[in-house]
Each structure stands twice: as C-alpha cells, then as structure tokens.
Structure 1
C-alpha cells in the first residue's frame, strides 16, 4: 500500500482497536481454540500476569475492580500513537512555517491592529501541528500527516523525499502492528521447542487474514484445527 493508504487505514481501523481493547484473550490449549492458544503463548508471560493482577486488584479501588483489558492491544495502541506523534513533531519542526509575528508597538495603531489580526488568525490556524505535552489520538495525527503527504494547503513547506520516506516507514510499521494484533494479515509461525508434537516434531501454525487457523507438525504431518481435531498425515 502507499503511504496515503496506510495513513488512512490507521485512522479507519482505530475504532476496531478500541473494540478489541476490551476483549482479553482466553488462556487455554489447542482444544479451546487455536487463537486462544496462540494468545496464551504470546500474552500470558510473567510480566503481563503481574500487570493483570495489578489491574484487577488495585488497592486504591476498595470493593471495585476495573474491566480487564487486553494489554497486547493497549501496548500496540500506545506504541502507534507515540510513533506517529514523534513523526509529526519532527515533520512540523522541518516544514511548518513560523506564525506571522505581531506588530511592534512602534507601528501606527491602525497598521498594528491589522497586522495583529492576521497574526492571531495565523497562530490559531487549525491546520497547524501543536507541540503539546500529551500524545494526540492516532487518527488525528495520521490524518495530519496524510495532509502533508498529499500537499494540502496550509502554513507548510513541501516535504522532501527523505521526509516522505520517513513518514512512509512509520505508517507502514503502524499498519503492520494493527494487522498483527487484529489478526488481519497472513501469518506463519514455528512454535518453540517447549511446544512440540508428541512425535517430537516442530509445530508450525498458520492463520490470519480471515483464514481458519491450523497447526501442522513438520515431523509426522499431524494437523490440528481450531476445533482441536487431529488429522493424520
């Protein structure tokens, strides 16, 4: 996809990420669904387990527990927002024109009033990127970067090829993260030696992009489906 398509995709799929945020993975084996099994392998490590316990048993919330969230989705969202915001900060610092200065006090009153009106409007231009202490929502940042890539009008200079490449790299990596966490991309993964077939062979997992997940043993050829059925080679 092009940089413009990737930036639009970020803005359009952000709602899907928010929906997935409140759907924690079920920890289980192959018999409980291959997606759940893979989620268990990736998410249920010591760090996440401790984080989940902290979320569920916050001592500051006596008698109440917050709704569990998927930390994998949460971390993905925060990483994407931070990467996009840093990219926008760097881009604005390089291509955003300085606001029109206010008139000096030595100017005649009428001229000073006209100049100050122009300066205030330029400073408040909603197309400007604001350097802020908080990270803005990813859809807003993605659309701001999209406007720069598509050379929309505003108080900006034209992007250089290097700047466009940098935005393209950030957008492409962000989309890859979204596709991975929402299971939108084709994928294949070999499980570690800890998770082997009964024959000792390596298990390869296939899935993503709407395909029915399955796992196959490279040794004996046994096949696991999401329903837990084992098919002999």
Structure 2
C-alpha cells in the first residue's frame, strides 16, 4: 500500500522541508536530469513533421555518444533555484535577527580580574555572546542553517529573542512557503498543469493541458470535452 506524503501546512513545516530536501537539491544540481516537462506521453502523433525532426535532433545532440564537446554535468537551473532560496532565507534571517535578537550582555569595565563580581560578569557576557541559539551574521550562513533557525523562531523556542509579532510571522511564512514550493517544483514533487501547443484530436479541437509532476503518472486532458490520455490509455471519456 502506497502512503501519500503529508503536505506541509505551517510555515515551520515548510522550513523543515527546506532543511530535509536540501541534500536532494544538491544532488540534482550535480547531475543533468533526463526527464523533461511537459512529458511527451506519446502525443508526438500530434506534432508536425518539422517538430518531430527538431526533437530528434535535440536528442542526438545530448546523446553521450554523439560527436562534439559534451556539456558540463551541472544543472544550472537547479543551481539558480538554490541560490535564490538561500539568498531569501539568509536575508530573512538577518532581517529578523536585527529585530528580535537581544544584544549580548556587556561586562562592566574599570575593574581587574581580582574582582570576583567583575570576573563573573565577563564570563557571563562571553557565554551570552557565544550562545549557539543566536543567529550569526558571519560564518556559516547557508540555506539549511537559516531555515532551521527561522523554524525555531516560528515555534517560539527559547533563547535571547523576543516573540515574533504578526508582521514578522507573515514575512517569514511567505519566504518559507515560496522556498518550499520552489524545491518541490524543482525536484518534480509538485503537481503542475501546462497548456500544449496542439488542439484536441477530437472534433471539439479544444485546449490540451498536460498535468502531473507530483510523482503520479502524468495525463493529458482536454479542457473542452474533458477527455484524458495517459501513457497506457488512448482516451478516457
């Protein structure tokens, strides 16, 4: 029995998704994907002869046995998505930390280490400044680190912070949702619908749309007559 993955419903869930799926994005960026969107799904019979020849030429050009220089095995589109997500998350964390993160304690000056009170104050200040719960404006500033820190703030975990107000929560939620959606779309885990440039082969001649991309078998649907096509069926009324 196949279990359907639970769709994240809260901003913190979206942030957890980013942390959990980042390695998958890195793997996708290091290989050139062999799947395309929208999928052909046997609807090449609807293409013109010129379109079929262009598609065949494109396949030949990407064949590893074809002559000529081979493309770099890096998926630039995935790298662009990762850069966009990382920039958004780190920028949001910087912005939020400036607003909610309490400055570290400062030790009093003018006394030597022989003063036990001063010594305790200096140690307390150093410990407070080094609190690992603090967002760091230098050092490790990648997407998983920012997503985890933002997730803890959205869950009101304790630390040297004040509680987020409604505007701050909404801003983080927006970035989290868009980032999670970009990951799902890039990894082919989000359902999509794309119009096709060919009319329905039925008398209606309606607009065809290919749907899929969420792990389920894709299908072609006519928006006029409602008929659908899959890889294993010809037409479903």
Could you say which residue in structure 1 is the equivalent of 2:32? 24
What is the distance in 2 between the residues matched to 1:140 and 1:30? 39
Q: 1:115 to 1:65 in 2, by over 3 A?
A: farther
Does the 8 A contact of 1:81 with 1:135 survive in 2? no
Q: TM-score, normalised by structure 1?
A: 0.72
Tell me the CA shift for residue 23 of structure 1: 2.9
The counterpart of 2:131, out of the listed 125, 131, 143, is: 125
SS at match of 1:196: strand
Taking structure 1 as reference, are residues 23 and 231 closer, same or farther at Cα in structure 2, changes over 3 Å only? Answer: farther
Q: Distance in 2 between matches of 1:230 and 1:21?
A: 36
SS in 2 for 1:204: strand
Q: Is the 8 A contact 1:95 1:159 kept in 2?
A: yes
The 5-angstrom pairing of residues 1-233 of structure 1 reads: 1-26=9-34, 30=40, 68-104=73-109, 106-109=110-113, 110=115, 111-132=117-138, 136-191=141-196, 195-197=197-199, 202-218=207-223, 225-226=230-231, 231=235
- Aligned equivalent of 1:59: none
- SS, match of residue 211 in structure 1: coil
Aligned Cα root-mean-square deviation (Å): 3.1
Cα deviation for residue 112 of structure 1 reads: 2.7
Render the CA deviation track for 1:179-224: whole Å, top value 9, x for unaligned: 1111212221214xxx324867533111022111133455787865
Change (3 A) 1:214 1:142: same
1:3: how far off? 1.2
Q: What is the rounded CA distance, in whole Å, between the counterparts of 2:120 and 2:226 in structure 1?
A: 79
Matches of 1:118 and 1:112 in 2, distance apart?
10
What CA distance in whole angstroms lies between the structure 1 residues aligned with 2:129 and 2:70? 44
Alpha-carbon offset, residue 144 of structure 1: 0.4
Q: Which runs of 5+ in 1 are unaligned?
A: 35-63
Alignment partner, residue 52 of structure 2:
none
How many angstroms does 1:113 deviate by?
Answer: 2.1
Q: Highest CA radius of gyration, 1 or 2?
A: 2
CA offsets per residue over residues 80-116 of structure 1, 9 Å max, x none?
Answer: 1111111101110000000111321x23532332221
Question: Aligned residue pairs: how many?
Answer: 198
Three-state SS of the structure 1 residue aligned to 2:217 is: strand
Range that drifts further, 112-121 or 162-171? 112-121
